[in-house]
Amino acid sequence: MPRGIAIPQLRQHLFAAADTVVLREGAAKLSGRAVTAEAGVATGLIYTHFADFDGFLAAYAVDRSFTIAAAPAFHERVGTGEVGTNLADGLAAMPRPGLTALARLLAMRPDLTARVEDVLGAGGSGFDAVERAAAEYLAAEQGLGRLSEAADPAALALAAVSVLHRLVLAGSVDAERLRSAVTALVAGTAGAHGAP
């Protein structure tokens, strides 16, 4: 890219480049040079906007975690359809490739979780936020009698999000496979007023 040309939304441009590097080469290959080369910008540009590369990674992880946490619209599904299908569909709708890249980065750099939580609060990083949203959804369904009183919404949410996490780290989120696993987890937890 020629020097002196303004790049609209530079941070997002760099974050998208980081997604690409992680997905193509793995989180171990993520470096300032790799990100700027992928973005087509000067090597030092990251350091104009971030104190150091760890600062860039923390900002990236916060941005992707925030986007992921905002994605599952479980609350819109409460009281409609089948609980297991709603949960699976909400998880399948998570934004990718950011979700995949973040999962791989946090698996390699778990220290970034604390930095994300400094900004977004406890449980605000990546899959933790999705798990919390899923547990809130399941608790709401339980309140309507569509999930058994004996069911543990937090445990079901952890199990369902673990399925998503495993598929993400394996490199492919097959929506049908996710739906099958999640609905099997929720099966047998129907309440008096609805199917799981």
In the prediction, which pLDDT does 143 show?
92
The tens digit of pLDDT for each residue in 174-187 reads 788 888 888 888 88
First to last CA, the chain: 53
CA pair distance 80, 131, nearest whole angstrom: 20
pLDDT above 70 as % of the chain: 89
Phi, psi of 121, rounded to the nearest 5 degrees:
90, 165
Q: Considering only CA atoms, which of 30, 24, 92, 82 is closest in space to residue 60?
A: 30
CA pair distance 29, 152, nearest whole angstrom: 40
Judged against a pLDDT cut of 70, whether residue 191 lies above it is answered with no
- CATH for 10-186? 1.10.357.10
CA pair distance 13, 8, nearest whole angstrom: 8
The tens digit of pLDDT for each residue in 13-26 reads 999 999 999 989 98
pTM metric for this prediction: 0.77
- Tokens read off for 187: 């099966």
The tens digit of pLDDT for each residue in 56-90 reads 999 999 998 888 777 667 778 888 888 888 898 88
Structural domain spans, the chain: 10-186
Which residue is it, tokens 């998570």? 94
Judge if the upstream peptide bond of residue 97 is cis by omega within 30 degrees of 0.
yes
CA pair distance 80, 84, nearest whole angstrom: 11
In the prediction, which pLDDT does 2 show?
44
CA pair distance 111, 154, nearest whole angstrom: 24
Judged against a pLDDT cut of 90, whether residue 158 lies above it is answered with yes
The tens digit of pLDDT for each residue in 6-53 reads 455 888 899 999 999 998 998 899 999 999 999 999 888 888 888 899
Judged against a pLDDT cut of 80, whether residue 132 lies above it is answered with yes
Name the band, by pLDDT with cuts 50, 70 and 90, for residue 121: confident
Query: For the chain, what is the mean pLDDT?
Result: 84
- Where does residue 100 rank: exposed (0-12), middle (13-18), buried (19+ CB within 10 A)? buried
In the prediction, which pLDDT does 190 show?
61
- Tokens read off for 92: 């399948």
In the prediction, which pLDDT does 35 show?
93
Name the band, by pLDDT with cuts 50, 70 and 90, for residue 3: very low
